[in-house]
Amino acid sequence: MIIFNTTYHVADAREREFVEWVKTAYIPRALESGELRNPQLTLVMGREPGTDGNSYSLQFHVASVDALEVWYRRTGAALVAEIEQRFSTHVAGFSTLMQKIEL
């Protein structure tokens, strides 16, 4: 199992709008094709005083890197473009892949 994590830094001016859009638009569209499962959105703690914005981690489970690549071609690239168009420089993100280790 792979965990697909994207961390977004969101400017204060667009934070409420971004979180609502992720919940109501991004996540439902990301789940439509079935490659991604178990969405989780978390606030990254530890904001430095006097800085603009908060960071959020959006995670999904995916069966394999190959399945994630299929999802990205079908859905993910369009969602990335929509974030860029909708939020411009108010949102910046980076993605990481993690492999779950059974305990």
Pinpoint the alpha helices (H) of the chain.
15-21, 27-31, 65-71, 77-87
Q: Which stretch of DSSP H or E encloses residue 95? A: strand 91-99
Ranges of each domain in the chain: 2-99
Strands 36-44 and 54-62: antiparallel
Nearest to 68 by CA among 44, 91, 47, 99: 99
For domain 2-99, which CATH number applies: 3.40.640.10, 3.40.50.261, 3.30.70.100, 3.30.70.1290?
3.30.70.100
Predicted confidence pLDDT, tens digits, the chain (103 residues): 899 999 999 999 999 999 999 999 999 999 999 999 999 999 999 888 888 999 999 999 999 999 999 999 999 999 999 999 999 999 999 999 999 898 9
